[in-house]
């Protein structure tokens, strides 16, 4: 038996079903192309790692495709590639993801393979060691990139002991300390049917999709032990600055603020302000600091959507001799948000931009499966697709200023560049 939730009128093509074992299945019927895409989410990302095992979810995602019950890494690759399909895995802060795409006729075969990999990975020791070495190369490579260094130390000062402080890759010490047994334990703890969302989009009916998911996953039983409770430390707002002197031809100047989670009322105003400030060639930061003043090689802002409080970040890459004035320019532009209302024209332009980009991000079956599965995994529900657009549309200038006054007051500062330049910037 399954429990089917009738979609709202705005989601007449999206069907949500809960199987008896707790798996949530979302189906978007899209018969235009002979393609089916699926996203399998597990509600466990790097937030569910112990601090001394940072990078575990990433390593698991890298090794997941390298062997499962009865199949080697090569046999998995041959089965996928022989039908021109794609199958990959990834880990983020908030969830684990398995992505697949096939022509309609091959979907049963590839979903069956995905189910086997998800339930019965073998984590071959040699593959674990190989993927660990590749992860260590990525970690070392990131340590040579000024922007990554700046953002890394920004995360650390904003989030302190919270898992968001750490890269999904972890660091060299934690990655070196991971074992195959750690992967097995993490998999046994979190990979269970009542912790999974399967989102499917393409040329398939709801009835056929549910029948196939039942066939592949229906006998997967919920373990007797409850899922561990996720106890996260409080994030204290203690603005400070962090400097990283390196030999480079540019300075990275970064301001950060602790924002809200996606479920907070202030999420939409902050998302809109980030778009207004630093999204694209017409954004406030680009026009004022790059076009008019010539300060920036690059300038932007970002405010990633997170299950827990996200970070609101503005940054600039600039010549070393401009480090001080770049820092002053960024601070001035953010501070203006708390003292001067964004004009109606600029606010509407930001709304049009964010909603237009949002619409363009739902063109393919893969994008459709991703966004609805993501919303379900974060606990927002499929209606958030419509709710998000309504929230953005309803933000007014007073809402935006109130959010800025609440969240964008005293910044955390992260500077990376030549030692003299970044030291002088804080004098």
Determine contact, residues 245/369, Cβ cutoff 8 Å: no
Q: Are residue 160 and residue 307 in the same domain, yes or no?
A: no
Among 9, 282, 332, smallest CA distance to 290 is for: 282
pLDDT value at position 296? 86
pLDDT value at position 11? 44
Q: Are residue 7 and residue 115 in the same domain, yes or no?
A: yes
Q: Are residue 195 and residue 273 in the same domain, yes or no?
A: no
Cα–Cα distances in angstroms (integers) from residue 389 to residues 281, 316, 345, in the given order: 23, 29, 18
Per residue in 289-303, pLDDT (tens digit) is 999 999 989 999 999
Q: Which tokens is 244 given?
A: 């990283």
Domain-ending residue, one of 170, 201, 217: 217
Q: Are residue 192 and residue 265 in the same domain, yes or no?
A: no
Under-70 pLDDT residues of the chain: 1-12
pLDDT value at position 10? 40
pLDDT value at position 427? 79
Determine contact, residues 328/322, Cβ cutoff 8 Å: no
Residue 231 lies inside a defined structural domain of this protein: no
Q: Greatest CA separation found in the chain? A: 68
Q: Are residue 406 and residue 346 in the same domain, yes or no?
A: yes
Residue 111 lies inside a defined structural domain of this protein: yes
Q: Are residue 49 and residue 138 in the same domain, yes or no?
A: yes
Question: Which domain range does residue 118 map to?
Answer: 2-217
Per residue in 331-346, pLDDT (tens digit) is 999 999 999 999 999 9
pLDDT value at position 9? 33
pLDDT value at position 131? 97
Per residue in 367-413, pLDDT (tens digit) is 999 999 999 999 999 999 999 999 999 999 999 999 999 999 999 99
Q: Are residue 182 and residue 252 in the same domain, yes or no?
A: no
Determine contact, residues 403/310, Cβ cutoff 8 Å: no
Determine contact, residues 379/263, Cβ cutoff 8 Å: yes
| Residue 7 three-state SS | coil
Residue 312 lies inside a defined structural domain of this protein: yes
Into how many domains does the chain fold? 2
Determine contact, residues 209/25, Cβ cutoff 8 Å: yes
Q: CATH no. for residue 290?
A: 3.30.830.10
Residue 346 lies inside a defined structural domain of this protein: yes
Residue 208 lies inside a defined structural domain of this protein: yes
Q: Which residues contact 290 (CB under 8 A, 6 or more apart)?
A: 296, 299
Q: Are residue 13 and residue 84 in the same domain, yes or no?
A: yes
Q: Are residue 289 and residue 210 in the same domain, yes or no?
A: no
Q: Are residue 87 and residue 207 in the same domain, yes or no?
A: yes
Residue 226 lies inside a defined structural domain of this protein: no
Sign of CA dihedral 357, 362, 364, 367: positive
Cα–Cα distances in angstroms (integers) from residue 421 to residues 228, 318, 427, in the given order: 47, 11, 10
pLDDT value at position 97? 98
Pairing assessment for the beta strands 412-417 and 241-245 based on DSSP bridges = parallel
Residue 112 lies inside a defined structural domain of this protein: yes
Q: Are residue 146 and residue 77 in the same domain, yes or no?
A: yes
d(CA 351, CA 328): 27
Give 40's Cβ-side CA count (13 Å radius): 27
Q: Are residue 274 and residue 158 in the same domain, yes or no?
A: no
Residue 20 lies inside a defined structural domain of this protein: yes
d(CA 135, CA 119): 24
Q: Spell out the alpha helix ranges (H) of 243-313.
A: 267-278, 284-285
């Amino acid at each position: 038996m399954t429990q089917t939730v009738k979609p709202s009128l705005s989601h007449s093509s999206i069907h949500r079903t809960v199987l008896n074992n707790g798996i949530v299945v979302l189906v978007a019927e899209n018969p235009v192309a002979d393609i089916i895409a699926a996203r399998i989410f597990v509600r466990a990302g790097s937030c569910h790692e112990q601090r001394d095992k940072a990078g575990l979810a990433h390593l698991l995602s890298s090794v997941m495709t390298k062997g499962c019950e009865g199949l080697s890494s090569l046999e998995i690759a041959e089965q996928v590639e022989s039908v021109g399909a794609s199958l990959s895995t990834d880990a983020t802060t908030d969830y684990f993801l398995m992505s697949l795409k096939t022509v309609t006729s091959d979907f049963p075969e590839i979903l069956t393979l995905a189910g086997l990999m998800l339930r019965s990975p073998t984590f071959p020791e040699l593959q674990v060691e190989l993927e660990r070495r590749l992860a260590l190369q990525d970690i070392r490579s990131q340590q040579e990139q000024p922007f990554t260094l700046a953002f890394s130390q920004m995360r650390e000062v904003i989030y302190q002991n919270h898992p968001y402080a750490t890269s999904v890759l972890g660091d060299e010490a934690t990655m070196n300390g991971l074992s195959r047994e750690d992967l097995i334990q993490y998999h046994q703890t979190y990979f269970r049917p009542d912790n999974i969302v399967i989102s499917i989009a393409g040329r398939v009916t709801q009835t056929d999709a549910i029948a196939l998911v039942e066939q592949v996953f229906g006998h997967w039983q919920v373990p007797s032990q409850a899922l561990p409770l996720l106890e996260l430390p409080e994030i204290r707002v203690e603005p400070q600055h962090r400097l990283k002197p390196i030999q480079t031809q540019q300075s990275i100047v970064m301001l950060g603020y602790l924002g809200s989670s996606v479920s907070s009322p202030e999420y939409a105003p902050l998302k809109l302000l980030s778009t207004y400030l630093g999204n694209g060639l017409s954004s406030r930061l680009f026009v004022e600091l790059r076009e008019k003043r010539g300060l920036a090689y690059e300038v932007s802002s970002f405010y990633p959507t997170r299950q827990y409080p996200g970070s609101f970040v503005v940054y600039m890459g600039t010549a070393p001799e401009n480090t001080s004035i770049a820092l002053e320019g960024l601070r001035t532009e953010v501070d203006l948000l708390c003292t001067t209302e964004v004009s109606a024209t600029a606010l509407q332009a930001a709304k049009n931009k964010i909603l237009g980009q949002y619409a363009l991000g739902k063109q393919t079956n893969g994008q459709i499966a991703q966004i609805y599965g993501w919303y379900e995994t974060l606990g927002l529900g499929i209606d958030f697709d419509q709710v998000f657009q309504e929230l953005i549309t309803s933000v007014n200038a007073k809402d935006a200023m109130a959010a800025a006054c609440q969240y964008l007051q005293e910044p955390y500062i992260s500077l990376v560049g030549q030692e003299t330049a970044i030291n002088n910037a804080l004098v």
